[in-house]
Amino acid sequence: MTSLTVYHGRMPRRPHSVDSKTRRQFGVHYTSEVNIKKLIGPLFLDDLRAEFAGIKDSRDLLRDFHRKLCTLTFFDPACGRGDFLVVVLRELRLLEREVLGAIEPEARPESRVSVDQFFGIEIDADAARAVREALLLIHFAHRTFPWSSEVEGAAAVHCVIIGLGAQEVSHKTIYEYAKIGGEPRAIAASRINPYLVDADDVLISRRAKPLCDVPVLWEGVHALDTGILSSFTEDERRAFVAREPQARRWFRECLTGSDLIHGVKR
Ligand SMILES: C[S@@+](CC[C@H](N)C(=O)[O-])C[C@H]1O[C@@H](n2cnc3c(N)ncnc32)[C@H](O)[C@@H]1O
């Protein structure tokens, strides 16, 4: 169902980023949203908005206008990451929402402006995949992967990506990382649940009572030393060991999950 035509194989594969020679050779420079709007306004969007403003009082004309919005087609012959196509799709859907609101103010009908109205050609397979994800396969999820940044000393962050779509589609994709930091494997899915698994929405909820007939847990993870040992801070440990060097071997690091995340040492 993808309307996007992709040619690839001629452009050198690039593991992380486009080098400046390839960038120059293939014209890999993407247009900013501000500049895209400068173009699509005079090209067609301003006319559509003017037409809408002129027919706001006639439901029949609004219905015809809505049908027209759903038949327009858009083509970017060197679509890069799809920036143009994505902005046009969004603007068209915003206009459609206003039109539907003018036809039936109380109703919330589904959008009929479809990604099938959008076409593109792109030589770079990575960029073409990005277009599909942005435009076509917005029903997708990447399971946990490390966020890499070229900034020196960047924080270690792990993310998931969840692509939400306004319309139901039959084909969804889950990207699975066998090795954290490795390449993802795309798995076709019929649904994506909140744990990013192709399964029913079975949610594990918080509960304080045991599921079966077992003694109630009366204490969670807790150091049972009234704080005498576990409350030593790093500075206190150093001061203590300076006074009592033979005590050094008896100190052990003791961390809770929260300490680990917030860099607390004790
Ligand atoms: C200047 S960018 C424009 C991308 C997009 N239209 C935008 O404005 O953001 C040009 C794109 O054309 C692609 N390209 C270069 N030669 C191509 C070719 N022969 N066929 C298809 N795409 C090509 C490049 O990979 C690059 O992504």
User: Pocket of ligand 1, candidates 81, 119, 124: which has the most ligand atoms within 8 Å of its Cβ, to mutate?
Assistant: 124
Question: What pLDDT was estimated at residue 17?
Answer: 54
The total number of structural domains in the chain stands at: 3
Same domain membership, residue 229 and residue 172: no
Question: What pLDDT was estimated at residue 175?
Answer: 87
Same domain membership, residue 151 and residue 33: no
Instruction: Pick the last residue of a domain from 205, 229, 245.
Output: 205
Give the separation between CA 150 and CA 109, rounded to whole angstroms: 44
Token pair, residue 213, equals 């007939």
Question: What pLDDT was estimated at residue 208?
Answer: 80
Nearest CA-CA partner of 48 in 82, 88, 79, 76: 88
Nearest CA-CA partner of 189 in 202, 175, 179: 175
Same domain membership, residue 132 and residue 8: yes
Question: What pLDDT was estimated at residue 7?
Answer: 46
Cβ–Cβ < 8 Å for 123, 7:
yes
Instruction: Give the Å distances, CA to CA, from 127 to 11, 117, 182.
Output: 11, 19, 19
Q: Residue of the nearest CA to atom 6 in ligand 1?
A: 79
Q: Residue of the nearest CA to atom 27 in ligand 1?
A: 80
Token pair, residue 152, equals 């020196």
Question: What pLDDT was estimated at residue 96?
Answer: 94
Instruction: Pick the last residue of a domain from 155, 183, 205.
Output: 205
Cβ–Cβ < 8 Å for 266, 231:
yes
pTM (2 decimals)?
Answer: 0.56
Question: What pLDDT was estimated at residue 59?
Answer: 93
Give the separation between CA 121 and CA 85, rounded to whole angstroms: 11
Expressed in angstroms and rounded, the spacing between residue 126 Cα and the centre of ligand 1 is 12
Give the binding-site residues of ligand 1, using a 6 Å CB cut-off.
7, 26-31, 76, 78-80, 83-84, 121-124, 127
Q: 83-103 and 33-40 helices cross at what angle (nearest 10)?
A: 60
Same domain membership, residue 44 and residue 126: yes
Question: What pLDDT was estimated at residue 9?
Answer: 41
Q: Which domain holds residue 233?
A: 208-266
Same domain membership, residue 171 and residue 68: no
Which atom, in ligand 1's list, is nearest to the CA of 80? Answer: 27
Q: Return averaged pLDDT per consecutive 10 residues of the chain, 266 residues in all.
A: 45 52 67 87 95 94 96 92 88 92 83 87 84 73 78 72 73 84 84 92 85 82 75 88 93 82 78
248 three-state secondary structure: helix
- DSSP states of 133-144 as a string? IIII--SEEEEE
Q: By CB neighbour count within 10 A (0-12 exposed, 13-18 middle, 19+ buried), where does 114 fall?
A: middle
Same domain membership, residue 16 and residue 83: yes
Instruction: Pick the last residue of a domain from 154, 186, 205.
Output: 205
Give the separation between CA 186 and CA 142, rounded to whole angstroms: 9
Q: What is the DSSP letter of 176?
A: E
Find where tokens 């009572």 sit. 209
116 three-state secondary structure: helix
Same domain membership, residue 253 and residue 131: no
